[in-house]
Homo-oligomer: A and B are copies of this chain.
Amino acid sequence: MNKSILVLGAGGHATVVVDILRQLNFNIIGLVAAEPVKHQPVFAGIACYTSDDDVLAFNINDVLLVNAIGSLPGQDVRFKVHQKFKKLGYRFMTLVAPTAVVSLYAELSEGVQVMPGAIINANSRIGEGSIINTGAIVEHDCTIGAHNHLAPGAKLSGGVSTGDYVHIATGANVIQGMSIGEHTIVGAGATVTKNLDSNKTLYVAKPFLV
């Protein structure tokens, strides 16, 4: 826990990330964000840097990066930042909220973020840079690709596998044993009961408004 932490991003996801880092008593030495950082208590007292180039002033052995850029379908900023700094030799912190439940028999790759109340059961593996967001569930024997985002309250039953860059949106469900191809999006509230190819989007059946 001795390394200094540089947080990349200062939006909504970053507020939860910094909140967790503070709970874990990490030493946050800066926020890096192109846009001006909104004043808010969770960021109080943290130095702000405005350019990715500012990261380069820190030796790769002295800092750990935390990618706090959010992940929404169709956006690739989060992934590109990860890849850029990895190539330069920087390391990304694997972050687990103190209220998350991660089995001792699960494996988290570099840069994975397990947010408050999320659960990952035995024999599941989470690929590099993926977010298992607030209250999401990954049952036993799942294999999650790199740079996935399981949004808040997403639920994966046992033995699910996903390719890279998969987005499983808020409250979506995946039954046991399903396979989901890379770059596929499971829409908010949608339920996967058949394997999904790559580059698809599954939408929940339309609700009706009265």
User: Per-residue 0/1 for A182-210: is the Cβ within 8 Å of any B Cβ (1 yes, 0 no)?
Assistant: 00000111111100100011111111111
By a CB distance below 8 angstroms, the chain B residues around A117 are 101, 117, 119, 137
Question: Are B196 and A173 in contact, CB atoms less than 8 angstroms apart?
Answer: no
Please count how many residues in chain A sit with their CB below 8 Å of the partner chain's CB atoms: 65
Interface of A is mostly: loop
Instruction: With A19-B121, A117-B119, A191-B189 as known contacts, state yes or no: A173 contacts B175, CB within 8 Å.
Output: no
Known A-B contacts A117-B101, A205-B208; the reply to A12 vs B189 at CB < 8 A is: no
Beta-carbon contact of A153 and B151 below 8 Å = no
- Name the distance in Å between A14's Cβ and chain B's nearest Cβ: 9
Instruction: Determine how many copies of this chain the complex contains.
Output: 3
Q: Tell yes or no: A99 within 8 A of B by CB.
A: yes
Minimal Cβ-Cβ distance residue in B for A22 = B104
Are B207 and A176 within 8 A (Cβ)?
A: no
Residues of B within 8 A of A108 (CB): none
Chain B residues positioned under 8 Å from A159 (CB to CB)? 12
15 residue pairs A–B, Cβ–Cβ below 8 Å:
A12-B176, A15-B122, A16-B122, A121-B134, A135-B135, A151-B157, A152-B156, A152-B157, A170-B173, A170-B176, A187-B193, A191-B207, A202-B209, A204-B207, A205-B205
